[in-house]
Structure 1
Amino acid sequence: MIRLGVNIDHVATLRNARGGNHPDPLTVAKALVGSGMDGITIHLREDRRHIRDADAEAVCAWAGKPVNFEMAATAEMVAIAARLKPRGCCVVPERRAEITTEGGLDVANHRDQLRPAVARLKDAGIRVSLFVDPAPEQVEAAAEIGAQVVELHTGAYANGRLGEMERLCAAAELTARLGLECHAGHGLTFANVSPVAALPQVTELNIGHYLIGEAILTGLPAAIAEMKRLMIEARMR
């Protein structure tokens, strides 16, 4: 019905705060099989602030769940992804100073820069997603340069911006009309996930920080199971 990709970047954040090897992202990923998780998302940032190269290699080599590899459209990251061959890559904007991804890619104004990265990833047999704001010009540009998936940035919706749910709905409909698969993510919680999960065009949600935070109270398998229950219930209404 609808898939849940669990972003485990902040397992690595916790490990890196102390140093050493615990908690290990791959060990956590393996422990979550059967919890309702359908895939693993990792973001190998240029500054390696959480996930590191060794983590990416280990997680991508693991055959337990499909891996969604978030990355900037740099030559270094394209080369790493082409070597590791995750199930999919989601190209995201990245700035060194940001705390987290602050918005979608400006595909409409950077077609020429993004098109070669998309082509090389596809040539490596990787399914390519572009992380964009829910704006028609961005969705159309993603289709034009060959992306197979659009992941809609839900951050503005999660922050309560007026009219954002309507923009997400329109962007999801356009994505489907253009023949692309539609994913969504960023800032989703138990309290706000249902309207996004109810969009019939959305096939996957990628959620990380909230689940890791909720795990402090309830445990990660329980937090994932509750999120997946809310997503499925939203589709059945």
Structure 2
Amino acid sequence: MVRLSVNLNKVALIRNSRGSNYPDLIRVAQDCERFGAQGITIHPRPDQRHARYDDVAALKEVVTTELNIEGYPSEEFMQVVLAARPDQVTLVPDAPGQLTSDHGWDTVGRADELRDIIGRLQAAGIRSSLFVDPEDNILEGAVAIGTDRVEFYTGPYAHEFSRDRAAAVAPFARAARTAATLGLGLNAGHDLNLDNLTYFAAQVPGLQEVSIGHALVTDALYYGLSNTIQQYLHRLADAGN
């Protein structure tokens, strides 16, 4: 079954809004795992407006499933992840002040830069993943620079899902087949939710992991965290039936 990694950025945002440690991000991560999550994700940005760099080492101490750290590979970010050695680092091409991730890497135009960064991660025993759009040339570029996995940016799918789900998922299904032939591991994330997750996971072959934060934390306000995680896990299980 596709693994569910819970992105805790929105939990960190609530914590930071009062300048205290409530809610406790580390406790929430442990609870998510206890409730069935198969991974924990955070995305510390340079302004640290939600997840912070010091959260990385703290989570590494307690996460027992899989720790995925997303972010733009500034030297500060690289020093943090190389010191903590999470299970996976997902590189995202965000500008410093960007509100949220909204596009993937140009793996061809930035090949030399990315090849060096991925080499540093792999030398430290960290699995590398690149946030990408579902385009064949981008996937071919990702293979050429040696990444272990890619993560599809699924914002366009979520945006078009209610209008025409088959058309919305088609580029991702096609690109997933390309990724398989190239030997790339495959993750996905951004705006996936309880409504659109099952269809996406059922239509995209070889999908290994989804990272979901904003929708999951929002749903937890209504359903509770444990119940919400179970609902997402059931949606993924339904995709395989």
Task: Name 2:103's counterpart in structure 1.
Answer: 103
Task: Name 2:34's counterpart in structure 1.
Answer: 34
Task: Name 2:157's counterpart in structure 1.
Answer: 157
Task: Name 2:178's counterpart in structure 1.
Answer: 174
- Counterparts of residues 138-217 of structure 1 (less than 5 Å): 138-160=138-160, 163-198=167-202, 199-217=204-222
Contact 2:68-2:87 at 8 Å conserved across structures: yes
Q: Aligned-pair distance for 1:60?
A: 1.5
How high is the TM-score relative to the length of structure 1? 0.96
Task: Name 1:70's counterpart in structure 2.
Answer: 70
Secondary structure of the residue that 1:90 maps to in structure 2? Answer: strand
Residue identity matched to 2:94 = E
Q: d(CA) in 2 for partners of 1:76 and 1:107?
A: 22
Secondary structure of the residue that 1:77 maps to in structure 2? Answer: helix
Task: Name 2:133's counterpart in structure 1.
Answer: 133
Residue identity matched to 1:181 = G
Secondary structure of the residue that 2:160 maps to in structure 1? Answer: coil
- Counterparts of residues 220-235 of structure 1 (less than 5 Å): 220-235=225-240
Residue identity matched to 2:212 = I
Please say which of residues 64-73 and 116-125 is displaced more in the overlay: 64-73
When residues 164 and 138 of structure 1 are mapped into structure 2, their CA distance, relative to the original with a 3 A threshold, is farther
Q: d(CA) in 1 for partners of 2:207 and 2:106?
A: 21
Task: Name 2:114's counterpart in structure 1.
Answer: 114
Q: Aligned-pair distance for 1:6?
A: 0.5
Poorly superposed stretches of 4+, deviation over 3 Å: 161-164
Give unpaired runs (5+ residues) of structure 2.
none
Please say which of residues 80-89 and 51-60 is displaced more in the overlay: 51-60
Secondary structure of the residue that 1:159 maps to in structure 2? Answer: helix
Contact 1:200-1:235 at 8 Å conserved across structures: no
When residues 106 and 164 of structure 1 are mapped into structure 2, their CA distance, relative to the original with a 3 A threshold, is farther
Q: d(CA) in 1 for partners of 2:155 and 2:62?
A: 30
Contact 2:33-2:39 at 8 Å conserved across structures: no
Deviation per residue, 1:53-105 (Å, 9 max, x gap)? 22111002224221001021222211211110000100001123322111111
Residue identity matched to 1:10 = K
Please say which of residues 2-11 and 33-42 is displaced more in the overlay: 33-42
Contact 1:197-1:231 at 8 Å conserved across structures: yes
Task: Name 2:81's counterpart in structure 1.
Answer: 81
Secondary structure of the residue that 2:220 maps to in structure 1? Answer: helix
Contact 2:129-2:147 at 8 Å conserved across structures: yes
Contact 2:60-2:84 at 8 Å conserved across structures: yes
The aligned length equals 236
How high is the TM-score relative to the length of structure 2? 0.94
Contact 2:56-2:81 at 8 Å conserved across structures: no
Deviation per residue, 1:140-173 (Å, 9 max, x gap)? 1111100000111100111117633110001111
Residue identity matched to 1:21 = N
1:9 aligns with 2:27: no
Q: Aligned-pair distance for 1:110?
A: 0.7
